[in-house]
């Protein structure tokens, strides 16, 4: 019985540590991308009507939340967005400025494989990207063998960040 309590305590403590680590990653991304020493107050985009339709066209599905938070400083807007890779959520940060992605980062990658999307080699393809009128990215994002679903999720989230920026 004592071992069960000890194991349960360990699991609860680890999940609390992971949640605080994830919060720290998000805060660090927001401060860094916006060039601020403190995280500004967030605002919301409510996913309804034409915005919801645009999001569904990009994701080919609904977003898992009814609102999306964003943080703004001047014409810089940062988003923390999530999408399913193969089985788990990929938590990402995007900073958009003047209709171009100026910063992107995979904050939390929960899948067992495909983690290469976290590396600069992949992320650098996203930075500087913008959207054509046809709802396609201007610069092509190359696939990674074994990470196709994660790469597709990053493409969709890149488009989503640019779309949301246009709606603010």
Q: Encode pLDDT of 27-42 as tens digits.
A: 999 999 999 999 999 9
What is the predicted pLDDT for the residue at 4? 53
Q: Which domain holds residue 29?
A: 2-166
* CA gap 30, 92 in Å, rounded: 11
Nearest to 156 by CA among 50, 66, 64: 64
Q: What is the DSSP string of 66-100?
A: SEEEEEEETTEEEEEEEEESSSSEEEEEEEEETTE
What is the predicted pLDDT for the residue at 90? 95
What is the predicted pLDDT for the residue at 147? 87
Number of domains the chain is built from: 1
Q: Do the beta carbons of residue 141 and residue 155 sit within 8 Å?
A: yes
Q: Exposed, middle or buried, 118 (CB in 10 Å: 0-12/13-18/19+)?
A: middle
Query: Residues of the chain whose pLDDT is less than 50?
Result: 6, 8-18
pLDDT tens-digit map of 117-130: 999 999 999 999 99
Q: What are phi and psi of 110, to 5 degrees?
A: -105, -5
What is the predicted pLDDT for the residue at 2? 60
CA 31 to mean position of chain CA atoms: 15
What is the predicted pLDDT for the residue at 6? 44
């Amino acid at each position: 019985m004592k071992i069960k309590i000890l194991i349960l305590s360990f699991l609860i403590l680890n999940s609390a540590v992971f949640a605080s680590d994830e919060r720290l990653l998000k805060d660090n991304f927001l401060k860094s991308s916006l060039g601020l020493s403190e995280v500004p107050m967030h605002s919301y985009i409510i996913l309804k009507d034409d915005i919801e339709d645009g999001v569904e066209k990009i994701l080919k599905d609904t977003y898992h939340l009814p609102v999306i938070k964003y943080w703004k400083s001047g014409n810089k807007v940062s988003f923390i967005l999530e999408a399913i890779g193969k089985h788990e959520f990929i938590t990402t940060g995007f900073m958009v400025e003047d209709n171009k992605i100026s910063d992107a980062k995979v904050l939390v990658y929960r899948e067992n494989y495909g983690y290469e999307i976290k590396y600069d080699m992949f992320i650098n393809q996203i930075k500087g990207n913008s959207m054509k009128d046809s709802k396609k990215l201007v610069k092509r994002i190359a696939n990674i063998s074994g990470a196709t679903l994660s790469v597709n999720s990053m493409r969709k989230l890149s488009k989503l960040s640019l779309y949301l920026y246009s709606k603010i």
